[in-house]
Amino acid sequence: MPIIRANSGIITQINVFTVPDGGQQPLIDLLTESAEFASRIPGWTSASIHRSLDGTRVVNYAQSESLEASQRIINRLRLEGFLERNKQLGQANPGLYEVVYTLER
């Protein structure tokens, strides 16, 4: 389960993909496969995949225990070819983030 709590030390990778018409599901399938692979790497915490209602974007929201864990996971995914396969299905705009503020009802 994702952890959205300020100053928790959790690192979140948010990757917004722009996909061609009809391209959401193939990318979702690949991201699901890569999340299942990454879940076995030490330091991995969670993954959530979102699709836009207009059919043009897919967002991958993945979390790890630390920056080092995040880098280790990204490197393993790169070595296994997942990142190259992602590029074939959509244009990626990744970033690493930490939560600094939350507000709840």
Whether the predicted pLDDT of 3 surpasses 90: no
Q: What domains does the chain contain, in order, with CATH numbers?
A: 11-97 (3.30.70.100)
Residue 101 buriedness (CB in 10 A; 0-12 / 13-18 / 19+): exposed
pLDDT tens for 19-68 read 999 999 999 999 999 999 999 999 999 999 999 999 999 999 999 999 99
| Residues 28, 69: Cα–Cα separation, whole Å | 23
Distance CA 52, CA 97 (A): 21
The band of 1, judged by pLDDT with boundaries at 50, 70 and 90, is confident
Which is higher by pLDDT, 16 or 105?
Answer: 16
* Tens digits of residue pLDDT in 74-95: 999 999 999 999 999 999 999 9
